[in-house]
Amino acid sequence: MVEPLQIASPGPGLHEITDKVGAVVRQAGVLEGVCTVFVRHTSASLTIQENADPSARHDLERWLERLVPRDDPHFTHVHEGLDDMPSHIKAALTSVSLSIPVMEGRLVLGTWQGIYLWEHRDAPKMREVVVHVGP
C-alpha cells in the first residue's frame, strides 16, 4: 500500500507525524513488514527522534542552525531567500527517507521515539510525505 500524506508545516523545526504514519500502517493491514516514509522535497527531511522531552528537539534544531548558518557568504543559490541554500544543505545532512519495521500491525518504534518532518524553510509549506507499507 502506498499513501501520500499532505503535511501542513507551520515553519522551521521538527513536526511530529508518528500518528499519521501509524494510521497508514493500520489501514494497510500488514501484520509483519516494513514501512518506508519518504519526503518529496529538497528543503525538508525526516528523522526519528525523542518525542518525550521537547528540549531535545529544541537542542537539535538550534544545533543544525549553528552548523548551517543562513548568512554564509559562499552561498550562491539564494533565489528563494536566505533560507534557500541552508535548507538544501540541512536536508542533505539529514534523511529524506526512513524504514521502520512493522510487527503485529504496528510500527516498531522505541518508547520515546517519534517520526518527524523536519522543516528547513522559514515560511509555512504544504509538504508531501509518501508512506509505503509492505510485507
Q: In tens digits, what is the pLDDT along the chain, a chain of 135 residues?
A: 999 999 999 999 999 999 999 999 999 999 999 999 999 999 999 999 999 999 999 999 999 999 999 989 999 999 899 999 999 999 999 999 999 999 999 999 999 999 999 999 999 999 999 999 999
User: 83-99 as b/e, with b when 16 or more CB fall inside 10 Å?
Assistant: bbbbbbbbbeebbbebe
135: Cα separation from own chain's centroid: 23
CB count within 10 Å of CB 40 equals: 11
Chain segment 9-41, per-residue pLDDT in tens: 999 999 999 999 999 999 999 999 999 999 999
Whether this model's pTM surpasses 0.85: yes
Counting runs of H as helices and runs of E as strands, what totals does the chain give? 3, 8
Q: Helix or strand or coil: residue 57?
A: helix
Structural domains in the chain plus CATH codes: 2-134 (2.60.120.460)
Q: How far is CA 47 from CA 69, 74, 77, 82, in A?
A: 20, 28, 25, 24
